[in-house]
Chains A and B, each alone.
Chain A
């Protein structure tokens, strides 16, 4: 089933870590397998923020070698970043297997990403100036507490509670998906794509990488590909409604925008609240109510509808 949520504060920052946690916790019944956040903070143009993992949570829970491997993998990440000319400004472990780095880098970002992900077991969850993508197993309160998201300030966010249907229960298959290799682009999705392999093969031929077999990842890569080919975000999303087949509602965020698209059958839910300074969207109104307990006007966007809001 899955639950998705998005929020954007227009022209100001807010306590988006707590807000998104509350929204996703209200959607827990739609999918308790994993929870993910794409939070857009007040980043710097000079520095990148990278969120990456060195192992799956399930790997850490079993086996003896994995703890040593995690240490080795992290050392390899540091070495390869140095080799590519990236300077680490700050590093912080969120868990034993997940890290947050800030770094500077003037070279080819895609090449750096590919070089890091070439290390066995290492996956970059996100790179951006504003985007920080956090996902793990458990409900929103657990993941938020584990990664200390309660103090996260920013302008907008999207999030996801997952009920695994077409791929495994692991971090790799959890949402949101970062639109590799584009900094600051992320996607969450509720639905099923029926022409997944057709488009995956085409996008792989065009040089895009897939880290999972989850159909939702395709949307992120598809949007990234269209942006790479010169589309504006809204144009890319409108095209996706025509070209991607299946039932879906998805949210996409960039450094300063939040977008929503709904398939032509309107088979997956989405409730929208919009005011002059705030936009909130979720699979169910109860999530929006967790941020706005007082009476507000909400509505369902229609079939095939695409909307984009500016931060």
Chain B
């Protein structure tokens, strides 16, 4: 991929071929942005400085405060034992950090994060990593519905299966699911990429504006305005590289993966009268 500029790469992959005027201020495919961006109030941490604590008798608020205290003390690697599927754990972390949860999280785990690398050895409930800006979240088991809702950046990886409405309103970043996903995955997707190595449920990519969905298994049905796109060499290279990062493989090989994009018949919604909207459907 050397020698290919960013605009060319994104166009080759079928991404962002038209401007979403006024819909988002986010720039697309800026390799340098994530690395250079830090919050002025973020804590300087040392990744070699490790701490762990047991959350068996702690509520969610206490766990999140403990993580913050440890970051403040310079710990760059933190392990939380026995999270017990509590809700809202690991939320709002705007820091570089290696964070491990030994167990499962409930709803809204790791929401609103910007920067940490999170590893969850168990499962996550609904709305994991909602509105994530940057960093990585890797889940070893399954995920509930609304996995990666409205994420804007970073990599969100579930090695098991996920529920319905995965990546609803996704605005950037990458979502990877090793198994199957439920109905309305990619609903109103706007940017970014999603890789489903298993099967996809009904209404995949319904009303998606932009972005790309790759599916390795069967697709039960496509949603409104979601169409099959053409796989390019660039797509295949990107998929191989991305999956290898997380030790994952397409069960039937990269060549079997289908690419889904927005048909954009519904896309320029603002300029259509209600009667015209019906016609394009």
Interface residues of A (CB under 8 A from B): 264-267, 269, 271, 284-286, 288-289, 293, 295, 297-300, 302-303
Contact = CB atoms under 8 A, between A and B. Distances in A.
Contacts of A284: 85, 87, 106-107, 125
Contact of B142 (A264, A293, A295, A297): A297
Given A289-B84, A297-B141, A303-B182, 19 more contacts: A269-B144, A269-B145, A284-B107, A284-B125, A285-B106, A286-B86, A295-B103, A295-B104, A297-B123, A297-B142, A298-B123, A299-B142, A299-B160, A299-B163, A300-B142, A300-B164, A300-B182, A302-B182, A303-B183
Contacts of A298: 104, 123, 141-142
A300 B145 contact: yes
Interface centre among B106, B164, B184 (most CB of A within 10 A): B164
A266 B141 contact: no
A164 to B, nearest CB: 22
B204 to A, nearest CB: 12
B85 A266 contact: no
A265 B123 CA distance: 22
Nearest to A302: B182
Contacts of B84: 286, 289, 293
A299 B165 CA distance: 15
B202 interface: yes
Q: How large is the interface on B (under 10, 10 to 19, 20 to 34, 35 or more residues)?
A: 20 to 34
B201 A303 contact: yes
B142 A302 contact: no
A266 B160 contact: no
Contacts of A295: 103-104, 121-122
A289 B82 CA distance: 11
Contacts, number: 72
Given A284-B85, A285-B125, A300-B144, A265 B183 contact: yes
B161 interface: yes
A128 B107 CA distance: 37
A300 to B, nearest CB: 4
B92 to A, nearest CB: 20
A286 B85 contact: yes
A256 to B, nearest CB: 29
Contacts of A269: 125-126, 144-145
Contacts of B160: 299
A66 B163 CA distance: 50
A285 B85 contact: yes
